Amino acid sequence: MEKKKSCFNCRFWSQMVAQSIGCGPIEALCLSPQSLHNSKFVKATDLCDAHKSDHHGKVDDPPNYGEVSRAAYEAEED
């Protein structure tokens, strides 16, 4: 089993949907369909088994909402 990695550098840690309650840490929405955290707000330091590197950017990166990065990840998986 792969070692758990932090959400901060995961491609599924949202660039577009984030919050900070009070003076707390930034939390972003998890967009990973394989994660137990899917559709939940998670901190950058949270750990997950479904982590995927964000070397091409986040899956919802502005300005095109991740179209370019998602295509790059799909091309790698082929």
Please state the domain count of the chain.
1
For 17-61, write each residue's pLDDT tens digit.
999 999 999 999 999 999 999 999 999 999 999 999 999 999 999
- For the chain, the 3-state helix, strand and coil shares in percent, each to the nearest 5, are 20, 25, 55
Residue partners of 66: CB distance under 8 A and separation at least 6: 57, 58, 59, 60
Asked whether residue 2 carries a pLDDT value surpassing 70, the answer given is no
Mean pLDDT, residues 57-77 = 92
Q: In which domain, by residue range, is 44 found?
A: 5-77
Mean pLDDT, residues 63-76 = 92
- According to the model, what pLDDT value does residue 1 have? 47
